[in-house]
Copies of this chain bind each other. A is one copy, B any other.
Amino acid sequence: MPLTTATSASFDMARYMEDVGAAARSSSRLLACATTAQKNTCLRSLGEALLRYKNEIIAANEMDCAGAQASGYDSGLLDRLQLSPQRIEALGAGILEMIELPDPVGVIEHLAPQPSGIRVGRMRVPLGVIAMIYEARPGVTIDAAALCIKSGNALILRGGSEAIHTNRALAGYIQTSLEEAALPRQSVQLVATTDRAAVGHLLAMKRWVDVIIPRGGKTLIQRVDEEAQVPVIRHFDGICHVYVEASADTNSAVDVCVNAKTQRLSTCNTAETLLVDQAIAAHFLPEVARRLQQAGVSLRGCPQTRAILPNIDAATEEDWRTEYLAAILSVRVVKDLDEAIAHIAEYGSGHTDTICSSDYHTIERFVREVDSSSVMVNASTRFADGFEYGLGAEIGISTNRLHVRGPVGLEGLTCQKYVVYGDGHIRQ
């Protein structure tokens, strides 16, 4: 990729992006037919390169961090931008784990004879070309490349300008690894320009891009979702609920609430609202409030909650719709299961919701009727994660309904085509 052109005065963005797209498409055709051994060879090379060139990666990353600091970015961004030696080792270890995962491509399911005599099945194949639009975190460069290579998809990476030196270094190692496995180096391309107009081109390249996956702040995701002409796999809010039903085991329910809220504050699967059955509210709320407040969480309650916990702030209508990503939890007392399900349907984001209960019928209804990408029973919402679900890795969590819902692993990056075997069969 001629990086220099990206800064020259005569740079033709539209032409450049078309070239990137066309190269991705032709690489994707070859990558789709690569053997598992080839793809694993590439991953092994990449994992080794990360360890071998750790110092070079850190040097590039330090340039980005210094630049970001000079530009006055906040500490959160700096934190996401920085790659420590440990983080690089973890990325390398993640790649080696991916080698162990089964290759989804080429698997044929449900191959069965039909009345006409033809045999019909479905073969799993790569989606084609994936474009990843993301901010700050350079680890995404490696994770996305490894997932796409293993699933046979070509990848166009469009990282944030703040991480450009790190991403260029990483993309170089990725392309070398592809070549070492006799795969096209343009199977993974980093958009060489930091001009924001490149994103607009990506969003419109229906001919070259099969799906766009944005990762980053809400503004980025909304822009992508509104402007994209290409299908988008994306994740909006994580307004996750814990509903403690009347029959719940109190101790266990308190543990689940505390873990769901505090195990990590800033993740999308962190609980933001606690719903408690009125039958147990007087008993349960003081106990859970004590534990949450010990952990530094502020509560905001509905009137019934504040009648039991008079010292907490009132929750407004806005609170029920808020993803705090902070040490705040809104609390509401509900009459029963119906009111809990209705609250989640009205205010939830379809991400992850859990019930604490011991009652079979209540649990069955909650699991069936709550319409979220993950519905849980007696477990912390924090489990909504590709590794915890056994996917081995995830490229993100989807709150789409179509194609893939919840954590997106290798299978989410594939689709199925029908395969039909006949013996000269014709239709009557």
8 Å CB contacts to B: which residues of A208-240? 210-211, 226, 229, 231
Residue of B nearest to A230 (CB): B402
A411–chain B nearest beta-carbon distance, Å: 10
Known: A367-B123, A405-B418, A417-B405. A118 touches B383 (CB 8 A): yes
Tell me, in angstroms, the Cα distance from A129 to B403 when the chains sit together.
Answer: 15
Residue of B nearest to A370 (CB): B417
Which chain B residues lie closer than 8 Å to A419 at the CB level? 367, 374-377
Which 5 residue pairs are nearest across A and B when measured between Cβ atoms? A379-B422, A252-B424, A259-B426, A382-B427, A376-B420
Known: A211-B402, A382-B426. 11 other contacts (CB 8 A): A127-B401, A210-B401, A231-B402, A249-B424, A251-B424, A258-B426, A354-B420, A379-B422, A380-B426, A382-B427, A402-B403
8 Å CB contacts to B: which residues of A393-407? 400-403, 405-407
A371, A400, A418 pick with most chain B CB within 10 angstroms: A418
Known: A368-B106, A422-B379, A426-B256. A401 touches B249 (CB 8 A): no
Residue of B nearest to A232 (CB): B231
Whether B375 contacts A417 by the Cβ 8 Å rule is yes
A interface, CB within 8 angstroms of B:
29, 32-33, 106, 112, 114, 116, 118, 120, 123, 125, 127-128, 210-211, 226, 229, 231, 249, 251-253, 255-256, 258-260, 263, 345, 354, 356, 367-369, 371-380, 382-384, 388-390, 400-403, 405-407, 415-427
Whether B416 contacts A405 by the Cβ 8 Å rule is yes
Number of copies: 2
A-B contact pairs, 8 of them (CB 8 A): A118-B383, A123-B367, A127-B402, A373-B418, A375-B417, A376-B420, A378-B421, A383-B425
Known: A424-B252, A426-B255. A118 touches B379 (CB 8 A): yes
Whether A369 contacts B33 by the Cβ 8 Å rule is yes
A47–chain B nearest beta-carbon distance, Å: 22
Q: Which of B256, B259, B374, B424 contacts A418 (CB 8 A)?
A: B374
Whether A389 contacts B367 by the Cβ 8 Å rule is no
Known: A263-B427, A401-B127. A375 touches B418 (CB 8 A): yes
Residue of B nearest to A226 (CB): B229
Tell me, in angstroms, the Cα distance from A190 to B377 when the chains sit together.
Answer: 39
Tell me, in angstroms, the Cα distance from A356 to B367 when the chains sit together.
Answer: 49
Which chain B residues lie closer than 8 Å to A125 at the CB level? 371
Which chain B residues lie closer than 8 Å to A405 at the CB level? 415-418
Whether B120 contacts A417 by the Cβ 8 Å rule is no
Whether A376 contacts B345 by the Cβ 8 Å rule is no
A120, A125, A258, A384 pick with most chain B CB within 10 angstroms: A120
